Structures are given as C-alpha cells and as structure tokens.
Amino acid sequence: MFGRRDFIKVTAAAAAGALALPAGAQAPASWTMPEEWTPVVVRIGSDHAAGEIHVVPQTTSLYLTLPERRRAIRYRVGIGRGDLYEPGRFFLGAKKEWPTWRPTDEMIARNPSAYAQWADGMPGGPTNPLGSRALYLFTPRRGDTFLRIHGTTDPWTIGTAVSNGCVRLVNQHVEDLYARVTIGAPIFLYPKDPV
C-alpha cells in the first residue's frame, strides 16, 4: 500500500481535517465560499510526473502535479464519509461535462427514500449531484469503479466527510481541474489515518 507521507509535505499551512456534517445540514442563506478554498500552487515534498492527481483525506485536499519540479495545484475537496471512502490507485478512464447521475445499488439500498426515484438516472444539469464536470476513476481489474471526482450542488460541504464515496469540488474548481487532466492520468486516493 502507499501512504500520504510518501507523497506530500506541503510548505503551506496544513488545512483542517475533514469534519462530518450532520444529516440534512443546510448552507446558511448568506453562505459564500471561504477565500482559503481558492486553488493555490504549492510546493510538494517529492518529485512526481506532471498530471497526477493525489487526494489526501486528512486535509481534504486534492493535488494536481505540475510540470515544474515539486509543484502542484491544491484544491479543497469533500470526501466519502465513514467507510465509504475507498483509498487506492486508479486512473482517469473517462471525463464528462454535465454528466448524468445514477445512484449505485448500494446507495439505493442504504437510503431508498432519497435515491430510489433516480434508479433510472438523473439528466445532467445544475441540480444534478455530480455538478458540472465528473472524472471517472477506473482500475485495470475492475474497469469503472463508480467512484468519481466531481462538482457539487452543495459547495458548503467542501472540507467535510459527507459524500457516498466520491471526491467533490466546487463546480468552478472541478471545471479547472477537468480542463487540465487527460484520460489515463494516474489518481491516488490516500488512506485515512486510523481513528
């Protein structure tokens, strides 16, 4: 297995750890995106090929490695709650603008009142939970893992462990990431620290 310490030692201050939101949490009416969520170029602790994605759950951060030695763009993200977060090595198998969404069978079984109505899928658009862009995580053995890096209709959940397993970004940030990554890009979801 791999560990986040093998990848990153960021010289910028570490972000706060992932917090779990209470069920049904709503954004305040006057919510605005915190300035510290703005993507920023940071120095990383080791050399990596350009175009790799690294997700570090402890800081709810996604890093896209740059061609410049030991540099990456850091984006703030939301991650999967509890044991729904799946660490591993993946590759970008597909990417879509305004993707359609279908909850997994497991999601429908866990919460049929919320998800059964979308068993046949939801068209892409501004109310779709995948937001404006989605990156599809694949492995050679499994193919499509049904894990995604995607936008969100709930941007206030960034920085928390609230999703059904996917990694979420503010829509404008996932659009920036989407434009920068290519099919086949390596994606690393680092393990959570033991509780």
The structure's pTM equals: 0.83
- What is the per-residue pLDDT for 39? 96
How far, in Å, CA of 158 to CA of 149, rounded?
13
- What is the per-residue pLDDT for 12? 42
Domains of the chain: 4-16+39-189 (2.40.440.10)
- What is the per-residue pLDDT for 101? 83
- What is the per-residue pLDDT for 11? 40
How far, in Å, CA of 44 to CA of 46, rounded?
6
- CA quadruple 176, 104, 84, 65: dihedral, nearest 10: -20
Q: Read off the pLDDT of residues 37-62 as tens digits, 9 standing for 90 and up.
A: 899 999 998 889 999 999 999 999 99
pLDDT < 70 positions in the chain: 1-30, 195
How far, in Å, CA of 184 to CA of 169, rounded?
20
How far, in Å, CA of 77 to CA of 108, rounded?
24
